[in-house]
Every structure is written in C-alpha cells, then in structure tokens.
Amino acid sequence: MRKRYLAMMLSRLEGFSSPKPELEQYRTPGDVAAEMLWLAGSIGDIQGKIVADLGAGTGVLAIGACVMGAGRVYAVEIDESALALAEENAGALGLGDCIEFLNMDVSGFSEAVDTVVMNPPFGSQSPHADRPFLLKAFEVAEVVYSIHLAKPEVRRFIEAFVRDFGFSITHRVTLPFELPAQFFFHRKSVERILVDVYRFERLTVDGTPV
C-alpha cells in the first residue's frame, strides 16, 4: 500500500462520536498517522512486530499498524465508547483479529512490546498530560513513536525527559496537524498547528542504541 492510500484509508475511519475535552480527544489526521507509520515501517519497527497504541482513541494508529504488517497490536484506551468505535473500525476492514482492545488507563498496561505508536494528549487542558504516556511507553518498549506540539518549550522538555529515562531521539519530523472545531471553547472551524513526530530509541548503558 502506498503512503497516500494509507492516509486516505485512515482518514475515512469513524471518528469520536462525543469527544471529551478533558481527555483531549482529537482524532489523529490520516496524513499524520500515515507519515508516522510509514517512517516506522521503513525502519523495520512495524512489520511482524508486537505494537502498542497507547491512548488508541478510535483506532487510527492501531489499525494503520495492522495494515503495515504488525504481528500483533494492543489498542489501549480508557474511554469505553471510543474503544468500541475502534473495534467497529477494525472490524469493518477485517482487521479485528490483529488487534487486542484493552479498556484501561495506560498506567495499567504491562505487556512488553517491540514498538509503541501513540498520539498522547498535548496537555492543553491538563498540563503534563503526555507524561504518563511517555513513562509507560519507555517502560514497555525499546522503540517509541509519539506526536507532540512543535513548540520550543515542548522540544526542550522532550529532549530532557527522554534523556533522563535512557532514550534518545533518532528522528523528529515536523508536520501540519488540523484540529476541527468540536468543543465549546473553539473559535475557528479548523485550527491548524504544527506537531513533531518523534522516534525514540532505548540506549544501552554505554549510551548507544539498543
């Protein structure tokens, strides 16, 4: 499958029916998801691998990982209604057997995986909301892909945080990200922002990648 077809397919998935602002429930745009997954696939982090999508929402990244050839995917999501939509989306594409859907907070996830792919909360409603996702990802995986705001202060935080937990940044790709108006505090029909797609890799004790 070509990257643009992957982006189109992921863009057509059913989105949140009643998004919750406190969970910062924005669907991952198909083009952004495709860029992340294409990068992961090109490096060998998806095909045949055990993958976790932490904060899976309606399943965009989990489903994309299956399409890209993941051996097994865990979709971890605290919101039961969002997870039900993720199951419906996967089932409509015949991918239900590839994904295990887990209705839980990410802190309760304990399976060791090869790769984490995630679009954690940006922290706009609850400061530092992305930290539990990063901490869990660094606990269960050797390689992590994650989306964060492309702001200087966020970049400084990410650089220090990953270093403190024994990871390095191997890739950072800046992309446009569209946020549709879906909450009462939105003033524009579509907010266009920039995000960074990161690839983090665990370091060995001598400071080299695993």
> pLDDT digit string (tens) for 29-63?
999 999 999 999 999 999 999 999 999 999 999 99
Task: Indicate the number of domains in the chain.
Answer: 1
- For the segment 70-78, the average pLDDT, to the nearest whole number, is 97
CATH code of the domain covering residue 154: 3.40.50.150
Side-chain-facing half-sphere of 122: CA atoms under 13 Å: 23
- For the segment 173-196, the average pLDDT, to the nearest whole number, is 76
Please report whether residue 87 resides in a domain.
yes
> pLDDT-based confidence at 192, cuts 50/70/90?
confident
Residue 58 structural domain: 3-202
Among the listed residues 77, 45, 44, 48, the one whose alpha carbon sits nearest the alpha carbon of residue 60: 77
Please report whether residue 104 resides in a domain.
yes
Please report whether residue 207 resides in a domain.
no
Contact in structure between 35 and 10 (CB atoms under 8 Å): no
For the chain, give the mean pLDDT: 90
Please report whether residue 43 resides in a domain.
yes
* Separation between Cα atoms, residue 156 and residue 88, nearest integer Å: 38
Please report whether residue 209 resides in a domain.
no
Please report whether residue 210 resides in a domain.
no
Q: Residue 184 CB: number of other CB atoms within 10 A?
A: 6
Please report whether residue 88 resides in a domain.
yes
* pTM for this model (two decimals): 0.91
pLDDT over 80 at 21, yes or no: no
Beta strand spans in the chain (E): 50-54, 72-77, 99-103, 115-118, 143-149, 167-180, 190-202
